[in-house]
Amino acid sequence: MDFLSHLTIKGQETAPSLVLSSVSNLPRAVAYIHENAIDSVRAFFDNDEAGRQALRKLWASGMEAKDMSRLYPRHKDLNEYLVALCHEQKELTARVKNMNVKRKIR
């Protein structure tokens, strides 16, 4: 779900992508990344202990991994961040419509 949220926010992804359904798949992903000589990754892990531990494991494997969870520090994961953005957008749209209605009434 988080990768779909990423695509919703960013649009089409042009870089090759490896999606983990669970951090328990991390050892297989690290092996794949090393076997395919991928030198850096962007990690969109959850903002929880399992996500932080997975990021540390990437770093410990010698991989250059950019912690993308810094983009959504107040949210559990990227999907929760997207839901919050959508909610904020709806609230803003409603406020603007309300302002326009009040102006027409005057």
66 DSSP β-pair partners: 42
* Closest C-alpha among 103, 19, 81, 33 to residue 95: 103
Radius of gyration of the chain (CA): 19
Neighbours of 52 (CB within 10 A): 14
Average pLDDT, 10 consecutive residues per value, the chain (106 residues): 62 70 90 91 91 95 91 90 87 79 67
Q: How far apart are CA 21 and CA 104, in angstroms?
A: 51
Per-residue model confidence (pLDDT) at position 101: 66
**DSSP single-letter state for residue 74:** T
41 DSSP β-pair partners: 65
Whole-model pTM: value is: 0.70
